[in-house]
């Protein structure tokens, strides 16, 4: 190594705290794209999770299995699929979304939707059906009743949201393929780390790694708190 560990960490922290333009642009792209993907998929996914938990319909098992399977597909495969859809020759080629943030958002939506659906379905399944039936017999409208049940399940649902977000904010395969790692446009934390490491410049990679680490710590604490609360409440 031409630089000591200590120097690298120092440089990394320097970049973070000196509000280095390139670094914060990368962080901004990462969070902007991933939050957009999460917010667009959130409500439909949770509704689908709800329907899967509360309603019997033909093909329900198939849908459940499909969602479970999709959860374990590598993100590069999703990336490949979206790439083929968006390429000039592809069916959605006229959108010109390849190598844009829109394309990245689409890819990340496909990655986080299965997680949201599967985890919210599990949460709703664990819910007490009586509360739901009581609310409906007392004349609550359907949306109100759903909101009420969701309120009961705040913890597990939030867990689903955090799990989905952490999956897309850290994935590199799909972002690299569909976004193309364009500076200031589609370069996000994971693709930037891959690039800086391949250039042999570790300071920025470490700074970005620290951001992800910090995020993971916050999320874990949030999760730990939620789990704790849930356990206390169930006694």
Partner 1 sequence: MFNTKHILGAALTATLLSITPVQAEEVIKLATTTSTENSGLLKELLPTFEAQSGYKVQVIATGTGKALALGRQGDVDLVMTHAPAAEAKFVEEGYGSEPRGIMENDFVVLGPKNDPAKIKGSASAEEAFGKIAAAGVPFISRGDDSGTHKKELKIWQAANVKPEFKGYTSVGQGMGKTLLMTNELQGYTLTDRGTYIAYKGKLDLDVDFEGGATLANPYQVILINSAKYPNLNHKGAKALSDWLISAEGQKMINDFKVQGEQLFKATYRQ
What does the binding site for partner 1 look like in residue numbers (CB under 8 A)?
1-2, 87-88, 98-99, 180-183, 185, 187, 191-192, 195, 198-201
Of 136 and 185, the one with the shorter C-beta distance to partner 1 is 185
Residue 98: is it exposed, middle or buried by C-beta count within 10 angstroms (0-12/13-18/19+)?
buried
CB of 25 to partner 1, least distance (A): 12
Residue 128: is it exposed, middle or buried by C-beta count within 10 angstroms (0-12/13-18/19+)?
exposed
CB of 183 to partner 1, least distance (A): 4
Of 39 and 182, the one with the shorter C-beta distance to partner 1 is 182
CB of 29 to partner 1, least distance (A): 13
Q: How far apart are CA 49 and CA 210, in angstroms?
A: 34
Of 65 and 87, the one with the shorter C-beta distance to partner 1 is 87
Of 13 and 194, the one with the shorter C-beta distance to partner 1 is 194
Contact 29, 185 (CB under 8 A): yes
Contact 40, 109 (CB under 8 A): yes
Q: How far apart are CA 19 and CA 110, in angstroms?
A: 32
Contact 108, 39 (CB under 8 A): no
Q: Which residues contact 200 (CB under 8 A, 6 or more apart)?
A: none
CB of 186 to partner 1, least distance (A): 9
CB of 138 to partner 1, least distance (A): 57
Of 99 and 132, the one with the shorter C-beta distance to partner 1 is 99
Q: How far apart are CA 102 and CA 228, in angstroms?
A: 38
H or E segment to which residue 77 belongs: helix 75-86
CB of 86 to partner 1, least distance (A): 9
Of 170 and 191, the one with the shorter C-beta distance to partner 1 is 191
204: how many CB neighbours lie within 10 A of its CB?
22
Q: Which residues contact 232 (CB under 8 A, 6 or more apart)?
A: none
CB of 79 to partner 1, least distance (A): 13
Of 16 and 192, the one with the shorter C-beta distance to partner 1 is 192
């Amino acid at each position: 190594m031409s630089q000591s560990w200590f120097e690298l960490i120092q440089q990394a922290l320097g970049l973070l705290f000196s509000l280095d333009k390139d670094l914060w642009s990368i962080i901004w792209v990462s969070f902007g794209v991933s939050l957009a993907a999460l917010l667009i998929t959130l409500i439909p996914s949770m509704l689908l999770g709800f329907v899967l938990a509360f309603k019997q319909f033909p093909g329900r098992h198939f849908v459940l299995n499909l969602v479970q399977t999709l959860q374990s597909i590598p993100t590069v495969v999703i990336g490949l699929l979206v790439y083929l859809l968006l390429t000039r020759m592809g069916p959605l080629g006229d959108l010109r979304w390849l190598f844009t943030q829109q394309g990245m958002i689409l890819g990340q939506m496909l990655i986080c939707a299965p997680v949201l659906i599967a985890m919210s379905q599990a949460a709703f399944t664990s819910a007490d059906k009586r509360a739901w039936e009581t609310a409906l017999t007392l004349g609550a409208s359907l949306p109100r009743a759903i909101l009420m049940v969701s309120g009961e399940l705040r913890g597990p649902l939030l867990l689903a949201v955090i799990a989905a977000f952490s999956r897309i904010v850290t994935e590199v395969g799909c972002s690299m393929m569909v976004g193309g790692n364009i500076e200031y446009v589609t370069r996000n934390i994971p693709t930037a780390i891959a690039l800086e490491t391949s250039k042999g410049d570790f300071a920025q990679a470490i700074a970005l790694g620290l951001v992800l680490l910090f995020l993971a710590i916050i999320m874990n604490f949030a999760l730990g708190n939620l789990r704790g609360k849930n356990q206390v409440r169930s006694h």
